[in-house]
Amino acid sequence: MGFKFEKLQVWQKAIDLTEKVHNLTKDFPKDETYVLSSQIKRAADSIALNIAEGSTGQTNPEFQKFLGYAIRSNAEVVSCLHIGRKRGIISEENFNIIYKETELITVMTKALRKSLN
């Protein structure tokens, strides 16, 4: 692995989350394609993308800023999960699986950000 971020466990977890979210949205109704499906996928992708972007040649304060963006994108995924569950699009089981992943990513991202002080 040639890039610093590829060695970060939190980035690897975020990449795994993108796959889980992508697979989840395959069963969404067609009328959600450009609404909730698109939003939750972009938010999940944004977590890994911000971790990667912030880690590459940035100062620690700059990296911390991008980790903050990743945390906010993670919160957006959680909000989308709640919306999907409320609309009856996301089952309780799928909600819980992905929700636990987002909790772990939040803890890991905050710990990484704190370690940069």
Instruction: Indicate which CATH number applies to the domain containing 13.
Output: 1.20.1440.60
- Average pLDDT estimate for 58-69: 94
- pTM of the model as a whole: 0.94
pLDDT tens-digit series, residues 15-30: 999 999 999 999 999 9
pLDDT (0 to 100) of residue 58: 77
pLDDT (0 to 100) of residue 1: 59
Closest CA to 44 of 2, 79, 85: 79
Question: Domain of 63?
Answer: 4-24+32-115
User: Using CA atoms, how far apart are residues 14 and 35, in angstroms rounded to an integer?
Assistant: 22
The number of domains in the chain is 1
- Provide the CA 17 distance to its chain's centre, in angstroms: 6
| Pure H helices in the chain | 9-25, 38-55, 60-86, 92-115
pLDDT tens-digit series, residues 33-49: 889 999 999 999 999 99
pLDDT tens-digit series, residues 74-87: 999 999 999 999 99
User: Using CA atoms, how far apart are residues 12 and 5, in angstroms rounded to an integer?
Assistant: 9
Structure tokens at 61: 């304060």
